[in-house]
Structure 1
Amino acid sequence: MHNESLRDLFYSHRGNLIHKWDHYFDIYEKYFAKYRGQKVNMLEIGISHGGSMQLWKKYFGANVHVYAIDINPDCKKLEEENTTIFIGSQSDKAFLENVASQLPELDFIIDDGGHTMNQQRVSFETLYMKVKEGGLYLVEDTHTSYWAEFHGGLKNPNSFIEQSKHLVDSLYDSHVIDKSKVTINEITDHINSIAFYDSIVVFEKQLRKKPFHKQIGKKTIKPYEPTELKKETWFESFMSRFKKKEEHPFAANDGGITEL
């Protein structure tokens, strides 16, 4: 069992090619350290030359099984002990559903595939529920959400980043008055948190419990409500002035009598 950090394992790696942003390793350690030495089933979308699969096996140990998806048929030859590789497109929903039917419950999924908006969205919507309770779904290289060639763009509503921002509202669905503006479905019911990092979005999969609150203990002071909570809407302000006008048709000021 290796004790080196994932970053150390990466920089000492001499196997197949791996391509990673250096700051990813801090994010990986934060979420993956608890899995080291445990029985782990993971899925990686996009494996290129297969170096990352070798890295995961070094990091997690002998009890990890790496399932992988790549569109390049040549990647099938990278299959080795404790790895299973499926060849197909991550934007093909039927293909992904077929793969999912052959997978066990997964501790986490890493989407490091083609990085286009459609690929990330279809993969997320199709595979998210394959993650076990308490598991993770990571989408890498989400900076492509800001690039037109990947069908993204700043504030583009179809980008994965903007769609992920929209999903934040679902975490508050118990408090939202107009639920027609919030996405509520099986997936959002099982999103416990969403964390945004430079180029990575992490979803924690857990059925969210309905929030509740209680008051316990004796009240000891007079209640005080801040005036900021009593801001009137335009209509409320109009009706208030109208009511005053009915009660006092005329009011005095320094310049004489003025009608309200």
Structure 2
Amino acid sequence: MTECNYFRDYPARTGDRMLFKMEHYLEQYDALLGSWQGRDISFLEIGVYKGGSLPMWQGFFGPASRLVFLDIDPACRALALPGTVVEIGDQADPDFLGRVGAAHGPFDLIVDDGGHKMHQQITSFRHLWPRLADRGLYIVEDVHTSYWPGFGGGFREPDSFVEFAKDLIDRMHSWYTEDDAGFPLHPLAREIGGIRFHDSLVVIEKRLKEAPVALTAQNGKVGRSRRMLEVRGRRSIF
């Protein structure tokens, strides 16, 4: 398998548009998205700023990709490249997000590099997650702002995006509840395939699925059961 260095090498190829990303994000994008290079996908990024990421994403994905960018600053509309769309609106406005999703979704990849405030990141996720396609990725950048009071965050601040993402881990595992009243099965258990925390990045994978199955296999005979999800008072089998 050829190692992908597209993103790590990209800063040396930039033009007059400023690209503003944490350096270690580029290494993570090479690892996460290497197999996506050249694919025709539907893509959404929140946050345009100086427009430096538009040519970066456009050069990575296939020529028939649908690339949509959002920003609250009307001046960013002029930064659209041929083959891209820049929509102007507030990422914390559910009606705006609904219109964008209806017009351009579903998306294979969503990247939130917008205002980085807690209500912005959480509102965007809640309203755009339904517009993410199966096997798609939802990436939130700069989640270190979850520790900054000026952005609505703070260490263990309940309303921060990091704490919100930690709660998604519980929702993903709610198949296995033994407390149906206090910890009921959540619909996101059928939609979240995985959650990865990197330095300042949270990556949430969408994978539509049925209830998990436990396998037993011996001498080529395979058994499948969902009994694990039904029993209570579990004890270790080891």
Please name the residue that 2:51 is paired with.
50
Quick one: distance in 2 between partners of 1:160 and 1:183? 22
Please name the residue that 1:147 is paired with.
148
Change (3 A) 1:163 1:17: same
Please name the residue that 1:5 is paired with.
6
Change (3 A) 1:202 1:44: same
Q: Is the 8 A contact 1:173 1:179 kept in 2?
A: no
Change (3 A) 1:47 1:179: farther
Please name the residue that 1:246 is paired with.
none
Q: Write out per-residue CA displacement over residues 87-130 of structure 1, whole angstroms, 9 at most, x where no aligned residue.
A: 00000111111111101321100000000000000000000111
Q: Is the 8 A contact 2:41 2:108 kept in 1?
A: yes
Q: Is the 8 A contact 2:171 2:188 kept in 1?
A: no
Q: 5 Å matches for 1:7-22?
A: 7-22=8-23
Quick one: distance in 1 between partners of 2:142 and 2:82? 28
Please name the residue that 1:166 is paired with.
167
Q: Write out per-residue CA displacement over residues 15-52 of structure 1, whole angstroms, 9 at most, x where no aligned residue.
A: 31110111001111122111111111100000101110
* Residue identity opposite 1:43 in structure 2: L
Please name the residue that 1:97 is paired with.
98
Counterpart check, 1:81 vs 2:77? no
Please name the residue that 2:28 is paired with.
27
Q: Is the 8 A contact 1:88 1:95 kept in 2?
A: yes
Could you tell me how far 1:65 is from its partner in structure 2?
2.5
Quick one: distance in 2 between partners of 1:32 and 1:207? 20
SS of equivalent residue, structure 2 residue 23: coil
Quick one: distance in 1 between partners of 2:141 and 2:180? 30
Q: Which stretch has the larger CA shift, 172-181 or 82-91? A: 172-181
Please name the residue that 2:196 is paired with.
195
* Residue identity opposite 1:157 in structure 2: P
Q: Is the 8 A contact 1:41 1:65 kept in 2?
A: yes
Quick one: distance in 2 between partners of 1:98 and 1:185? 26
Could you tell me how far 1:212 is from its partner in structure 2?
2.2
Task: Point out where structure 1 has 5 or more consecutive residues left out of the alignment.
Answer: 219-228, 231-260
Change (3 A) 1:144 1:133: same
Q: Write out per-residue CA displacement over residues 195-214 of structure 1, whole angstroms, 9 at most, x where no aligned residue.
A: 00000000000113311224
Q: Write out per-residue CA displacement over residues 160-206 of structure 1, whole angstroms, 9 at most, x where no aligned residue.
A: 00111111112221211114444754444311100000000000001
Change (3 A) 1:147 1:213: same
SS of equivalent residue, structure 2 residue 17: coil
Could you tell me how far 1:7 is from its partner in structure 2?
1.4
Please name the residue that 1:64 is paired with.
65
Quick one: distance in 2 between partners of 1:180 and 1:197? 33
Quick one: distance in 2 between partners of 1:200 and 1:41? 21
Q: Is the 8 A contact 1:15 1:54 kept in 2?
A: no
Task: Point out where structure 2 has 5 or more consecutive residues left out of the alignment.
Answer: 220-234
Normalised by the length of structure 2, the TM-score is 0.85
Quick one: distance in 2 between partners of 1:192 and 1:178? 22
Equivalent residues, number: 218
Could you tell me how far 1:158 is from its partner in structure 2?
0.6
Could you tell me how far 1:61 is from its partner in structure 2?
4.0
Normalised by the length of structure 1, the TM-score is 0.78
Q: Highest Rg: 1 or 2?
A: 1
Please name the residue that 2:114 is paired with.
113
* Residue identity opposite 1:140 in structure 2: E
Counterpart check, 1:124 vs 2:125? yes
